[in-house]
Amino acid sequence: MKRLIAVMLIMMLLMPFGCSCYRLEINLGKPTEAPTAPQATQQTQTEANTAETTPASTDAPQNGTVTHTETAEPTAASATPQAQEPTPYTPDLSLLPIEYDVYEEVGWEVNEATMFEYDIDFDGKEETVSFKYDEDAYITTITIDSKSIILPGSNLTHVILIDLDPATPYVNLLVCIDGASDDYITTELHYVNGSIVKGVEVMNDCRWDAEEEKLMFYESSDILGTKTGKRSYSGEDLKPDTEWLEVAYEITEEELKNNRSELIEFGDLLHLTRDLPCEVNGKPAKIAKGSYIYMLRFNDAHDTAEVRTENGIEATLRFTYKDWTYYIDGKKVESYFDNLMFAD
């Protein structure tokens, strides 16, 4: 990734009610954290506790009939963005300047800015890139030199400057706007021959994972209690690298050993109250009542999840979805567990 430049501009809006100006914070090149997931277990993982002995698990696959359908209906409808309380907005450009020649320096931070300068089209001259959001009109305007483009939504959360395709003579701006509560839209923009070109839009939050050096997108699913999945994207078309969304909060063996009670309390380690129909190595099987499982990943359609038992057996669960409820083998998902969080 010779020319990969990843710069995270986190624009955090601090807007005291009644105040007529915004304070923006932009962090560049700083490793980012995963977005807050509606998942209680991400909050508390500190106390070690004495792990109770795992019940004798009889996870070995058994013969059994498994019926599942592939049809899944869309999950909960996205909330429609709603206009926010009108607030006067005046960009405070006096908060500049910013130094941009240290883009690749990890940990460099710039606070309080609404614009930056960078040679985004590789012609040897820096462009001025600025961001302005208008809560009255519910839009965000991105201006590059004298050209502007307007994107819907005024809650601009962050911008990533990244070279998605070294073969193209420009860097890409990924503009992330939270349309409503956690309804992110990421829009790719670039600048060619003095014009702003709008590329793909992805209906997800987008973050740069500095540790893995990958562009990560995040998505939630309500199956097995609300879980947030992440996966890497690449290329200028921002295609997902895999079908699977890895659960953003991953349970490690150490956590299983030290934090088992919390994992159970918050519904990450799920306790089975009846045999759970599944597939193991592609064959119908059941995970026995009394076992504990946790989710590893789920798919795009949110109708399939891969789980692991405490003793390491991995299984595939198939879901159907109807009337806001998930079913496994015709039974409501919550009927299989006694510690499912955020179930309906």
Token output for 222: 């309500």
Q: Which stretch, 53-61, 114-122, 202-210, 295-303, contacts Ca ion (CB under 5 A)?
A: 114-122
Residue that the structure tokens 């955020």 belong to: 342
Per CB under 5 A, the segment of 24-32, 118-126, 273-281, 322-330 that binds Ca ion is 118-126
How far apart, in whole angstroms, are the C-alpha atoms of residue 218 and residue 274? 32
Binding string to Ca ion for residues 21 to 60, with x set by CB under 5 A, is what?
----------------------------------------
Contact between 213 and Ca ion by CB under 5 A: the answer reads: no
Q: Report how far residue 298's alpha carbon sits from residue 247's, in angstroms, rounded to the nearest whole number.
A: 7
The enclosing H or E element of 129 equals strand 127-134
Interior/surface letters 39-62, b for 16+ CB within 10 angstroms, e for the rest: bbbeeebeeeeeeeeeeebebebe
Selected range binding Ca ion among 9-17, 113-121, 149-157, 159-167, rule: CB under 5 A:
113-121
Shortest Cβ distance from residue 143 to Ca ion (Å)?
Answer: 14
* Contacts with 99 (C-beta within 8 Å, 6 or more apart), sequence order: 110
Residue 146 found at the interface with Ca ion (CB under 5 A):
no
The residues near 307 (Cβ < 8 Å, ≥ 6 apart) are 224, 278, 293, 294, 295, 296, 314, 315, 316, 317
* Rounded alpha-carbon distances, angstroms, from residue 53 to 167, 311, 312: 56, 12, 15
- Residue 320 Cβ, how far from Ca ion at the closest point, in Å? 52
Q: Contact region for Ca ion (CB under 5 A) — 17-25, 99-107, 122-130, 154-162?
A: 122-130
Which range in 73-81, 115-123, 198-206, 301-309 contacts Ca ion by CB under 5 A?
A: 115-123
Of 112 and 145, which has the nearer Cβ to Ca ion? Answer: 145
Q: Which is nearer to Ca ion, 119 or 279 (CB)?
A: 119
Query: Per DSSP, which regions of 226-281 are E strands?
Result: 227-234, 239-240, 245-247, 270-271, 276-280
Minimum distance from residue 279 beta carbon to Ca ion (Å): 54
Q: Is 119 in the site for Ca ion (CB under 5 A)?
A: yes
Distance CA 9, CA 255 (A): 33
Q: How many residues does the chain have?
A: 344
Measured from the CB of residue 127, what is the shortest distance to Ca ion in angstroms? 5
Closest CA to 194 of 127, 141, 131: 127
Distance, CA of 154 to CA of 143 (rounded, Å):
15
Q: Is 121 in the site for Ca ion (CB under 5 A)?
A: yes
Size of the site for Ca ion (CB under 5 A): 5
Which lies closer to Ca ion via its Cβ, residue 7 or residue 269? Answer: 7
**Nearest-approach distance from CB 201 to Ca ion, in angstroms:** 24
Q: Measured from the CB of residue 122, what is the shortest distance to Ca ion in angstroms?
A: 7
Binding mask 126-145 for Ca ion (x = CB under 5 A): -x------------------
Closest CB to Ca ion among 142 and 177?
142
204: which residues sit within 8 A by CB, 6+ positions away? 184, 186, 217, 218, 219
Site string for Ca ion, 68-107 (x = CB under 5 A): ----------------------------------------
* The dihedral sign for the CA sequence 339, 71, 64, 60: negative
Figure out which of the listed residues 104, 123, 243, 314 binds Ca ion, where binding follows CB under 5 A.
123
In the DSSP assignment, the letter for residue 4 is -
Confirm or reject binding of residue 125 to Ca ion (CB under 5 A). yes
| Residue 96 beta carbon to Ca ion: minimum distance, rounded to whole angstroms | 18
Cα–Cα dist 302/247, whole Å: 12
- Give the binding range for Ca ion (CB under 5 A) out of 62-70, 120-128, 296-304, 319-327: 120-128
Residues lying near Ca ion in the complex (CB under 5 A) are found at 119, 121, 123, 125, 127
